[in-house]
Amino acid sequence: MAKILVVTSGKGGVGKTTTSAAIGTGLALRGHKTVIVDFDVGLRNLDLIMGCERRVVYDFVNVVNGEATLTQALIKDKRLENLFVLAASQTRDKDALTVEGVEKVMKELSENFEYVVCDSPAGIEKGAHLAMYFADEAIVVTNPEVSSVRDSDRMLGLLASKSRRAEEGGDPIKEHLLLTRYNPERVTKGEMLGVDDVEEILAIRLIGVIPESQAVLKASNQGVPVILDDQSDAGQAYSDAVDRLLGKEVAHRFLDVQKKGFLQRLFGGRE
């Protein structure tokens, strides 16, 4: 039986899809057979970030509607043997997914994978609810700013009350906090919340801090999950987060302001 992980946030644009791609790829890199499922019906971003957008034939909605089998719809990653993507439909609207339909697909995926990573759409409405409903664990992606923290808090409330586990009285969803787009310089200047502030407000286990990084944009433009860029700060931070997700104790990095190196100073080195 697979572990179902949802990557969620409430607020949009905080880095859920970037995180789903990185964490899913990181799990596969460590030998776990993993599928990343795009729940953002109508937008379809995950396949771009994973670099498989030209190989999408069938999508999640096709499988839910019985127009294709899972085997037909799953896209195998070109780089990793045990990594797959289930793309979202670009042509349907978000009402195309139903609880029963999603349950059927989750069940089938659970039988064939070790990890199912669900990339949630933004918001707290139906799409986000479906993405988290069957989850065993949740990665709550938060940016260090008040509005994002509030939305994450709200999402944590829903995870605790509106998931299947909550409704059937099972063990609660295990919650992890992932702080992304962290910029220590702006924290020092008081323009952003610090790690401690966010941890104190949300009071759940911190699984990683991903720095604001040019490497993320570069990676997504190339269709390569940033975790595969192991020279980059963001890639290394995601890698640490995957280790922590798997139970390893790893010290947090990239929390402090870096002294600008000579080359960075020479080229202006923004971020």
Pick out residues in 44-83 that bind Mg ion (CB under 5 A): 45
| Partner interacting with residue 99 (select from ligand ATP, another protein, Mg ion, none; CB below 5-8 Å by kind) | another protein
Q: Are 34 and 27 in contact (CB under 8 A)?
A: yes
**Pick from 39, 52, 138, 45: nearest CA to 98:** 39
Q: Which of 87, 124, 128, 226 binds another protein (CB under 8 A)?
A: 124
Provide CB contacts within 8 A for 18, sequence distance 6+: 49, 180, 216, 220, 226
Is position 18 annotated in a ligand binding site?
Answer: yes
What sign does the dihedral 203-204-208-211 (CA atoms) show? negative
Pick out residues in 102-161 that bind ligand ATP (CB under 6 A): 121-122
**Pick from 255, 253, 220, 215: nearest CA to 232:** 215
**Pick from 252, 251, 243, 250: nearest CA to 32:** 243
d(CA 41, CA 211): 28
* Region binding another protein by CB under 8 A among candidate stretches 67-75, 94-102, 184-192, 209-217: 94-102
Distance of closest approach, residue 183 Cβ to ligand ATP, in angstroms: 9
Q: Are 116 and 2 in contact (CB under 8 A)?
A: yes
Q: Where are the alpha helices (DSSP H) in the chain?
A: 16-29, 46-50, 60-64, 70-73, 99-112, 126-133, 146-161, 164-167, 184-188, 195-202, 214-222, 233-245, 262-266
Report the residue number, 98 or 222, with the smaller CB distance to another protein: 98
Q: How many of the chain's residues bind Mg ion (CB under 5 A)?
A: 3
* Region binding another protein by CB under 8 A among candidate stretches 65-73, 75-83, 98-106, 219-227: 98-106
Pick out residues in 200-229 that bind ligand ATP (CB under 6 A): 210, 212-213, 216-217, 220
Q: Which of 157, 170, 222, 246 binds another protein (CB under 8 A)?
A: 157
Distance of closest approach, residue 55 Cβ to another protein, in angstroms: 32
- 158-187 mask for another protein (x: CB under 8 A)? x-xxx----x----x---------------
- Main-chain dihedrals φ then ψ at residue 2, nearest 5 degrees: -75, 160
16 near Mg ion (CB under 5 A): yes
Residues in the site for Mg ion, rule: CB under 5 A?
Answer: 16-17, 45
Contact positions vs ligand ATP (CB under 6 A): 9, 12-18, 40, 45, 121-122, 180-181, 210, 212-213, 216-217, 220, 234
Residues interacting with another protein, by CB under 8 A? 98-100, 124, 126, 129, 150, 153-154, 156-158, 160-162, 167, 172, 200-201, 203
